[in-house]
Each structure stands twice: as structure tokens, then as C-alpha cells.
């Protein structure tokens, strides 16, 4: 029993580190895209768009969707397992458990919204 608790604490630390890394990576990519956006605005005024800017924009959108989806998958895995355990013990808690699973899925939607915003600027 003690091994399971140590293992779950280790997994929780890994998930926290992955989330921090993912957020940091998204911020870094968005800063790079924002820095390139000034150059893109000048080039667009001249009628020429640098393909490198478009490439970085697509990369930023892909990373935001990927990190958001991975984070949502991990969150749903843990929240869903806990929800099934709660519903097994108290079936009347199914509605509340479903709400928490839906909140975990919202992380992927946020990543998708950021990607749409990035692609809208290209």
C-alpha cells in the first residue's frame, strides 16, 4: 500500500513539471511569434510575407494544440479514474463527477482557441 502512495506522489510531481514545462513552452513560442509579428506587419504592408513567419506561426499553433491535448489527456485520466471510483461508491454523485471530467477536457479547448488566434494573425 505504501508503494502505491509513493508512486502516485512521483507521478503527481512529473505531471506538475510537465504542466509547467508546457506553459513555459507556450509562452516562449507566443513571445517569438509576437516578436515576428512586428516584422510581419511591415512586410504585409509592402505586400511580401516572409515564409519563416508563417512557418513559426504554424509551429506555435501546433505546439499549443499538442500541449493542451496532452495536458487534457492526463487530467481526464486522473479525474476520470477518481470519478469512476466515486460513482462506484455513491451512484448519486455521477452528475458532479461528470462536471469535473468536463472541466479537465476544457484544457484542450483552451489550446485549440490559442491555435485559432495564432492562425488568425498569419
Q: What's the number of CA atoms in the CB half-sphere (13 Å) around residue 116?
A: 6
Residue 89 pLDDT:
87
**What percent of the chain is predicted at pLDDT more than 90?**
0
Residue 42 pLDDT:
64
Band of residue 1 on the pLDDT scale cut at 50, 70, 90:
very low
Give tens-digit pLDDT for 26-80.
Answer: 777 766 666 666 666 666 666 666 777 888 888 888 888 888 888 888 888 888 8
> If you average pLDDT over residues 75-102, what whole number do you get?
86
d(C-alpha 78, C-alpha 81), whole Å: 5
Q: Between the CA atoms of 81, 83, 85 and 87, what dihedral angle is there, to the nearest 10 degrees?
A: -150
pTM of the full predicted structure?
A: 0.57
Please say whether the beta carbons of 119 and 57 come within 8 A: yes
Give CATH for domain 2-121: 1.20.20.10
- DSSP code string of 38-73: HHHHHHHHHT---HHHHHHHHHHHHHHHHHHHHHHH
Domain boundaries, the chain: 2-121
d(C-alpha 94, C-alpha 77), whole Å: 16
Band of residue 102 on the pLDDT scale cut at 50, 70, 90:
confident
d(C-alpha 89, C-alpha 53), whole Å: 54
In the predicted structure, residue 14 carries a pLDDT above the cut 70: no
Amino acid at each position: 500500500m505504501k508503494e502505491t502512495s509513493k508512486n502516485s506522489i512521483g507521478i503527481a510531481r512529473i505531471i506538475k513539471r510537465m504542466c509547467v514545462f508546457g506553459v513555459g513552452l507556450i509562452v516562449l513560442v507566443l513571445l517569438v511569434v509576437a516578436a515576428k509579428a512586428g516584422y510581419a506587419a511591415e512586410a504585409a504592408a509592402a505586400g511580401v510575407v516572409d515564409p519563416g513567419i508563417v512557418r513559426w506561426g504554424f509551429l506555435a499553433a501546433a505546439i499549443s494544440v499538442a500541449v493542451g491535448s496532452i495536458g487534457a489527456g492526463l487530467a481526464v485520466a486522473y479525474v476520470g479514474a477518481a470519478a469512476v471510483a466515486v460513482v462506484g461508491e455513491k451512484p448519486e454523485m455521477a452528475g458532479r463527477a461528470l462536471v469535473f471530467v468536463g472541466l479537465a477536457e476544457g484544457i484542450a479547448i483552451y489550446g485549440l482557441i490559442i491555435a485559432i488566434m495564432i492562425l488568425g494573425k498569419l
